Amino acid sequence: MNTPQQPLNICIIGAGGIGSNTCVLLVNALRNGVIAEHLGGIEFHLYDGDEVEEANLIHQRFTPGQLGMLKVDALAETFADIHDAVRLTPHGINLREAAVLEDADIVIVAVDRPEPRRIVHSLEGKEWYDSRCMGDFTLLLTDQSDPTTVDALTPEHAPASCQPEGAIESGAIQFGFANAAVHLADAIMRSLLRRCGHETEFPNSICDSITKGRIDIFGTPVEPVMKAAPQATEPWSDEDDRILLDGLDHNGRDLDEISKKIGRSTNALFHRLRRLLERENVSMEAGE
């Protein structure tokens, strides 16, 4: 485990649609150095043997001036001076052996080949994340995912872009890569916060679709999304105030129940209650 003399080592395998966007999200989130300094520094090791091509500019985080550069070199150049406690080290190779990851604390694999995925899955005692997408369909597996499910979702196949055939050429770029990057960056940030002593949880696995929403393929019930209370725009009436105060003072109702009865958000209830208790500016609307 990292110490103040040994920075946290995060390896990112793949610097394409998912990898480059995840890298940008994570490194920018660490720009002020607070988390990185708390952890004794953070070193990102980027692995990818591909060069930046013009087609990459549509959905990957590179610029025209970086065409022909190795993708990992381009990302390291972009964030060379992000913060003294955050360092990016490029490795212009594709992952072919587990020994490369020996010193890693966290491993991210975001490639379109089963071989490096399986290498990461085989790591023992390491925190890893496997992020994928196809069109608008995204998948996130972790070292906490059921091994049988992970194996079943990692069959042998030829390398394939996360974009459907012809999507880039036609200009109809899909957005799954960005959705996958957000899920992945969120998971890593939660991991960093846990390492800093904060309490935060993250699902062991995620299967998501921009068009169909969260998809349950892991046997874990997906909680239904409750319809939010309508956002009222009418002035508060004496009856609204009575229901609010009576519900809190006498019946012990919670704010969600009162919110549904009055037809206003819980945030609006907080603001209104504060004004009623302060006995000033009671006609003002807030938090709608």
pLDDT tens digits, 106-132: 999 999 899 999 999 999 999 999 999
Confidence band (pLDDT; 50, 70, 90) for 30?
A: very high
Confidence band (pLDDT; 50, 70, 90) for 244?
A: confident
Confidence band (pLDDT; 50, 70, 90) for 228?
A: very low
Q: All domains of the chain, ordered by start, with CATH?
A: 8-214 (3.40.50.720), 226-288 (no CATH)
C-alpha–C-alpha distance, residues 167 and 173, integer Å: 5
pTM for this predicted structure? 0.73
Mean pLDDT of 262-273: 72
Confidence band (pLDDT; 50, 70, 90) for 187?
A: very high
Q: Which residue has the higher pLDDT, 154 or 210?
A: 154
pLDDT at residue number 196: 94
pLDDT at residue number 265: 73
Residue 257 pLDDT > 60: yes
